[in-house]
């Protein structure tokens, strides 16, 4: 066997090899050659695909750079607009939670717009549509799952915007009376004047009636009393008005009202109404001071406040002898 180049030739095939070369491969080399051919057939499309990807990637780099620059620009724009909204709302509302929430939502919204622009530059329009659809479904699901919590937050936002109450106001709502200690998006806290803190959901405050005793800065106090039938009613009226008007915590613009209300069983009943300046005193202290002043004035002038009359039936059983 002779060697010609890289081809093995059998002895009977070496004659006239320069003019009529006939090469026959050994059967042992046919199988590796077939395997190599199949591998090349598989690798060649992959290489072509990789080459196309490389060309597309190189051409895609400018779009990626532009998209990144757009995101960076919208990131700083979102922060600037958020700070601007926070300053403007801070002048209109003193609710820190509401201002922070709206500024955060504004920042997210502006950055989301920039994200959609960036995806559009990259040619991912279908991705933008999918994100919008997914966001809508997610918002709907969260709305149903946290319905009460969402209602509280929205109600708290409206309370902060409309400002029917403020911190320090004395209000009555949902069966509770107290001074407002804090107003949040989720709840309102009251001091009920008994050393207890009452926390009410914002939706209950927003949806139900509120009696605000501090809104006008004034509050009316009522005192009911009765005098004997033997007393001069005109004198009773004059003495009562004189006594109440001498108190130093009355409103300067509100008149004192006096009315006889009914003929009772053992007295003629009357009611005196007067307005107080709540900066000077509260309704409880004002009523107590007014009652003591009226009692003292009546005692000086011999006006009788009758005692309640009650009948007692005392039955004595005598033992029979």
Do 245 and 273 reside in the same domain of the chain? Answer: yes
Q: Are strands 176-183 and 218-227 parallel, antiparallel or unpaired?
A: unpaired
Average pLDDT of 97-112?
82
Do 193 and 233 reside in the same domain of the chain? Answer: no
pLDDT for res 260: 96
- Look at residue 293 and tell me whether its pLDDT is greater than 80: yes
Does residue 173 lie within any of the structural domains? Answer: yes
- Look at residue 42 and tell me whether its pLDDT is greater than 90: no
pLDDT for res 51: 67
pTM, whole model, 2 decimals? 0.53
**Residue 96 vs residue 105, higher pLDDT:** 105
- Look at residue 296 and tell me whether its pLDDT is greater than 70: yes
pLDDT tens by residue, 176-190: 888 899 888 788 899
Do 187 and 255 reside in the same domain of the chain? Answer: no
Q: How confident is the model at residue 28 (pLDDT cuts 50, 70, 90)?
A: low
Does residue 284 lie within any of the structural domains? Answer: yes
pLDDT tens by residue, 208-223: 889 888 877 778 899 9
Does residue 68 lie within any of the structural domains? Answer: no
Average pLDDT of 304-313?
75
CA distance 156 to 149: 11
Q: Side-chain half-sphere of 67: how many Cα atoms within 13 Å?
A: 15
Range among 1-15, 24-38, 243-257 rated most confident: 243-257
CA distance 247 to 289: 8
Q: How confident is the model at residue 7 (pLDDT cuts 50, 70, 90)?
A: very low
**Residue 271 vs residue 67, higher pLDDT:** 271
Do 296 and 222 reside in the same domain of the chain? Answer: yes
Lowest-confidence segment of 31-35, 77-81, 111-115, 275-279 by average pLDDT: 31-35
Does residue 112 lie within any of the structural domains? Answer: no
CA distance 225 to 294: 9
- At residue 318, φ and ψ (nearest 5 deg) are -95, 130
Count structural domains, the chain.
2
Distance of CA 135 to the CA centre of its chain: 20
Q: How confident is the model at residue 229 (pLDDT cuts 50, 70, 90)?
A: very high
Do 295 and 223 reside in the same domain of the chain? Answer: yes
CA distance 131 to 126: 9
**Residue 152 vs residue 46, higher pLDDT:** 152
Do 232 and 206 reside in the same domain of the chain? Answer: no
Element (H, E) at 262: strand 257-263
Q: For residue 275, give the CATH number of its domain.
A: 3.30.70.100
- Look at residue 234 and tell me whether its pLDDT is greater than 70: yes
Average pLDDT of 261-271?
93
Do 188 and 235 reside in the same domain of the chain? Answer: no
**Residue 279 vs residue 290, higher pLDDT:** 290
- Look at residue 108 and tell me whether its pLDDT is greater than 90: no
Structural domain boundaries enclosing 264:
218-300
Average pLDDT, the chain: 79
Do 242 and 200 reside in the same domain of the chain? Answer: no
pLDDT tens by residue, 81-93: 988 888 887 777 6
- Token pair 């407002």 in the structure block, residue: 180
Range among 8-17, 21-30, 204-213, 256-265 rated most confident: 256-265
Average pLDDT of 287-310?
91
Do 199 and 251 reside in the same domain of the chain? Answer: no
pLDDT for res 237: 96
pLDDT for res 242: 94
User: Count of CB atoms within 10 A of residue 289's CB?
Assistant: 17
């Amino acid at each position: 066997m002779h060697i010609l180049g890289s081809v093995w030739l059998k002895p009977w095939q070496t004659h006239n090899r320069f003019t009529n070369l006939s090469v026959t491969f050994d059967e042992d080399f046919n199988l590796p050659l077939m395997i190599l051919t199949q591998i090349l057939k598989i690798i060649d499309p992959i290489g072509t695909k990789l080459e196309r990807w490389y060309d597309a990637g190189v051409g895609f780099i400018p779009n990626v750079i532009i998209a990144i620059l757009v995101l960076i620009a919208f990131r700083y724009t979102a922060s600037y607009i958020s700070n601007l909204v926070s300053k403007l709302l801070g002048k209109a509302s003193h609710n820190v939670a509401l201002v922070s929430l709206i500024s955060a939502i504004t920042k997210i919204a502006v950055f989301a717009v920039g994200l959609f622009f960036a995806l559009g530059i990259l040619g991912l329009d279908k991705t933008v549509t999918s994100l919008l659809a997914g966001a809508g479904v997610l918002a709907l699901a969260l709305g149903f799952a946290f319905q009460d919590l969402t209602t509280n937050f929205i109600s708290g936002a409206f309370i902060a915007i409309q400002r029917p109450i403020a911190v320090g106001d004395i209000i009555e709502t949902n069966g509770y009376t107290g001074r407002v200690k804090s107003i949040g998006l989720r709840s309102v806290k009251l001091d009920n004047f008994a050393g207890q803190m009452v926390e009410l959901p914002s939706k209950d405050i927003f949806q139900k009636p509120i009696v605000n005793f501090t809104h006008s800065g004034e509050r009316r106090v009522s005192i009911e009393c009765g005098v004997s039938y033997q007393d001069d009613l005109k004198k009773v009226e004059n003495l009562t008005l004189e006594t109440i008007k001498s108190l130093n915590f009355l409103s300067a613009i509100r008149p004192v009202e006096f009315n006889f209300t009914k003929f009772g069983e053992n007295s003629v009943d009357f009611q005196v109404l007067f307005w107080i300046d709540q900066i000077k005193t509260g309704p409880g202290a004002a009523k107590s001071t007014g009652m003591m002043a009226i009692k003292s004035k009546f005692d000086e002038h011999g006006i009788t406040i009758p005692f309640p009359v009650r009948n007692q039936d005392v039955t004595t059983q005598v033992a029979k002898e």
